[in-house]
Amino acid sequence: MSVLVNKDTRLIVQGITGGEGTFHTSQMLEYGTNVVAGVTPGKGGQLYGGNEKDSFNREIPIYNTVKEAVEEENANASVIFVPAAFAGDAIIEAAEADLKVIICITEGIPVNDMMKAYAYVKEKGAVLVGPNCPGVITPGEAKVGIMPGFIHKKGTIGVISRSGTLTYEAVNQLTEVGLGQSTCIGIGGDPIIGTKFIDAIKMFSKDPETEGLVVIGEIGGNAEEEAAAYIKRNYKKPVVGFIAGRTAPPGRRMGHAGAIVSGGKGTAEDKLVALRSAGIHVVDNPADIGVTMLKALGR
Whether 91 and 35 share a structural domain: yes
Residues involved in catalysis: 256
Count of domains in the chain? 2
* CA nearest to 37, candidates 8, 5, 65: 65
What pLDDT is attached to residue 217? 93
Whether 156 and 269 share a structural domain: yes
Whether 157 and 211 share a structural domain: yes
53 found inside a domain: yes
What pLDDT is attached to residue 246? 61
Q: Residue 95: phi, psi to the nearest 5?
A: -65, -40
Portion of the chain with pLDDT greater than 70, in percent: 90
What pLDDT is attached to residue 2? 87
Asked if residue 161 lies in contact with residue 170, where contact means CB atoms within 8 angstroms, the answer is: yes
Q: What is the DSSP letter of 297?
A: T
Portion of the chain with pLDDT greater than 90, in percent: 81
User: What is the average pLDDT across 209-219?
Assistant: 94
pTM of the prediction? 0.92
Question: What is the per-residue DSSP string for 75-99?
Answer: --EEEE---HHHHHHHHHHHHHTT-
Q: In Å, how far from its chain's centre is CA 257?
A: 16
Asked if residue 147 lies in contact with residue 167, where contact means CB atoms within 8 angstroms, the answer is: yes
Whether 254 and 287 share a structural domain: yes
Asked if residue 54 lies in contact with residue 28, where contact means CB atoms within 8 angstroms, the answer is: no
Asked if residue 50 lies in contact with residue 57, where contact means CB atoms within 8 angstroms, the answer is: yes
What pLDDT is attached to residue 262? 41
Whether 105 and 170 share a structural domain: no
Decide if pLDDT at 39 tops 90: yes
Decide if pLDDT at 117 tops 90: yes
Whether 46 and 158 share a structural domain: no
- 100: CB partners within 8 A, 6+ apart: 76, 77, 125, 126, 127
pLDDT digits (tens, 9 = 90+) for 156-212: 999 999 988 899 999 999 999 999 999 999 999 898 999 999 999 999 999 999 999
Burial of 52 (0-12, 13-18, 19+ CB in 10 A): exposed
User: What is the average pLDDT across 73-82?
Assistant: 98
2 found inside a domain: no
Residue 100: give its domain's CATH number. 3.40.50.720
Whether 166 and 80 share a structural domain: no
Residues of the domain holding 122: 11-129
Whether 41 and 122 share a structural domain: yes
Mean pLDDT (the chain, rounded): 91
Map residue 280 onto helix, strand or coil: coil
> Of 102, 129, 156, which closes a domain?
129
What pLDDT is attached to residue 250? 53
Whether 287 and 160 share a structural domain: yes
What CA–CA distances, in Å, run from 25 to 36, 59, 142? 11, 12, 12
User: What is the average pLDDT across 21-43?
Assistant: 96
Asked if residue 90 lies in contact with residue 80, where contact means CB atoms within 8 angstroms, the answer is: yes
Whole-angstrom distance, CA of residue 97 vs CA of residue 136: 21
* CA nearest to 42, candidates 17, 76, 71: 17
pLDDT digits (tens, 9 = 90+) for 238-295: 999 999 866 555 544 444 444 444 444 468 888 999 999 999 999 999 999 999 999 9
244 found inside a domain: yes
